[in-house]
């Protein structure tokens, strides 16, 4: 095997239990995007066994896949395209988000034999999805064939806890909840908190929190909130690969496309059979792999299927040895945070972009 992503399901369970206990309310486990690259169905089942009350996905097909795997827990899909098979969603007891009057109309028309369960998405300041100007025009007629079970919004700057916009959004959310309450919908699940707010803003917990990146053991923002360890989170994924080739290379040798880097001394270079087709960022620099207690940095550009690291002249590595691309940092290896910083991105993107050519291996303990 050339590479594998080892996913520690016990780490995910720990994170969910900690987040649910600290929030003191229901918890929706966000498993969209193949559970942030960790594997949709195994992670969903682990989350539910750890006490998650809901599963959340972006796309209807993700929700259907969960149902087809035998999961019968509540599922919310919040980015369901107009023209989708709403009737199938309703038949499968998939709860749907509605962000416009047009969406409510389409869902209502699909609810002829069975009432859809709907969460109203409201825009409190993210200025992305959700009701905004139309909110003042919604009335009972718009939801006559629908069961309104929830109302939710999303923070734009929860990873910056001191920003005034967080309180502004919280206030606006309460106003929009009051509006739907005035129409007679008082027994609805209110949910606003993402991972950052779950960790740092207890006033926003309401009836349920939605935890994404934190349930995978990663900090929503290392700079403003601290790293995983400081937040009592356990990173769940370790990405590793077997060295395809190790060879001696003299000083002043160009490496990779464009000859953007040269060896600075006689050294050993290691070739990793992974590249940007597998989710390794092409623009990454100041990252690399870990082997036998030592970090070995990338040298040259990342290619589609491979990249090169400088192992050092005295390295004992040989072809076939396993190296860690990222892990939880407990052995001084690179982390997803490191790779995010090295590519001008974030840890979310690093784990989510690991491609399907890399098998996921599930383990009770990675370390």
Q: In the chain, where are the structural domains located?
A: 9-216, 237-363
Beta partners for 148?
A: 118
Task: Compute the Cα dihedral for 221, 223, 229, 231 and give only its sign.
Answer: negative
What is the rounded average pLDDT for all residues in the chain?
A: 97
Measured in degrees and rounded to the nearest 5, phi and psi for residue 56 equal -125, 135
- pLDDT at residue 365 greater than cutoff 80: no
Per-residue model confidence (pLDDT) at position 285: 87
Pick the CATH number of 9-216 from 3.20.20.10, 3.40.50.1100, 3.40.50.300, 3.40.50.720: 3.20.20.10
Residues 232/40, Cβ–Cβ less than 8 Å: no
Whether 257 sits among the annotated catalytic residues: the reply is yes
Give me the mean pLDDT over the 267-275 stretch.
98
Residue of 20, 32, 45, 268 with catalytic role: 32
Is the per-residue pLDDT at 11 higher than 60?
A: yes
pLDDT of residue 366: 52
Q: What tokens does 222 get?
A: 């290392």
Q: What percent of the chain lies above the pLDDT cut of 70?
A: 99
> Which residues face 146 on adjacent strands?
116
Query: Binning pLDDT at 50, 70 and 90, where does residue 160 land?
Result: very high
- pLDDT over threshold 60, residue 217: yes
Query: Sorting pLDDT into bands at 50, 70 and 90, what band is 259?
Result: very high
Identify the CATH assignment for 237-363 out of 2.40.37.10, 3.40.50.800, 3.40.50.11540, 2.60.40.1730: 2.40.37.10
| Catalytic residue from among 105, 144, 257, 316 | 257
Return the SS3 of 81.
Answer: coil
3-class DSSP state of 174: helix
Average pLDDT on 212-230 reads: 98
What confidence tens digit (pLDDT) does each residue in 26-48 have? 999 999 999 999 999 999 999 99
**Structure tokens, 261:** 């880097």
Task: Return all residues near 166 (Cβ < 8 A) that are at least 6 apart.
Answer: 155, 157, 158, 160, 197, 201, 204
pLDDT digits (tens, 9 = 90+) for 65-83: 999 999 999 999 999 999 9
CA distance 249 to 166: 54
Q: Has 318 been annotated as catalytic?
A: no
Section 220-228 average pLDDT: 97
């Amino acid at each position: 095997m050339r590479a594998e992503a080892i996913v520690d399901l016990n780490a995910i369970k720990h994170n969910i239990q900690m987040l649910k206990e600290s929030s003191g309310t229901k918890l929706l486990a966000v498993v969209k995007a193949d559970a942030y690259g960790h594997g949709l169905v195994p992670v969903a089942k682990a989350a539910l066994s750890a006490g998650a009350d809901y599963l959340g996905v972006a796309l209807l097909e993700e929700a259907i896949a969960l149902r087809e795997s035998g999961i019968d827990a509540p599922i919310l899909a919040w980015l369901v395209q107009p023209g989708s098979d709403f009737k199938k969603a309703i038949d499968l007891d998939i709860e749907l988000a509605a962000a416009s009057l047009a969406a409510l109309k389409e869902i209502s028309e699909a609810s002829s034999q069975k009432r859809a369960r709907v969460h109203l998405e409201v825009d409190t300041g993210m200025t992305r999805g959700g009701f905004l100007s139309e909110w003042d025009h919604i009335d009972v007629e718009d939801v006559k064939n629908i069961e309104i079970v929830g109302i939710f919004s999303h923070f734009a700057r929860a990873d910056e806890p001191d920003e005034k916009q967080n309180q502004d959004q919280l206030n606006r959310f309460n106003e929009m909840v009051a509006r739907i309450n005035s129409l007679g919908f008082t027994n609805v699940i209110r949910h606003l908190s993402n991972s950052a707010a779950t960790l740092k803003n207890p006033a926003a917990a309401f009836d349920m929190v939605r935890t994404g990146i934190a349930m995978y053991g990663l900090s929503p923002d290392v700079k403003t909130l601290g790293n995983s360890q400081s937040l009592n989170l356990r990173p769940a994924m370790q990405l590793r690969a077997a060295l395809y080739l190790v060879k001696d290379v003299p000083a002043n040798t160009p490496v990779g496309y464009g000859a953007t880097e040269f060896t600075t001394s006689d050294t050993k270079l290691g070739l990793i059979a992974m590249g940007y087709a597998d989710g390794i960022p092409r623009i990454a620099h100041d990252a690399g792999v870990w082997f036998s207690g030592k970090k070995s940095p990338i040298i040259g550009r990342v290619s589609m299927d491979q990249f090169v690291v400088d192992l050092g002249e005295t390295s004992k590595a040989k072809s076939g040895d396993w190296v860690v691309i990222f892990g939880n940092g407990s052995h001084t290896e690179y982390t997803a945070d490191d790779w995010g910083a090295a590519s001008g991105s974030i840890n979310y993107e690093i784990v989510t972009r690991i491609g399907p050519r890399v098998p996921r291996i599930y383990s009770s303990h990675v370390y």
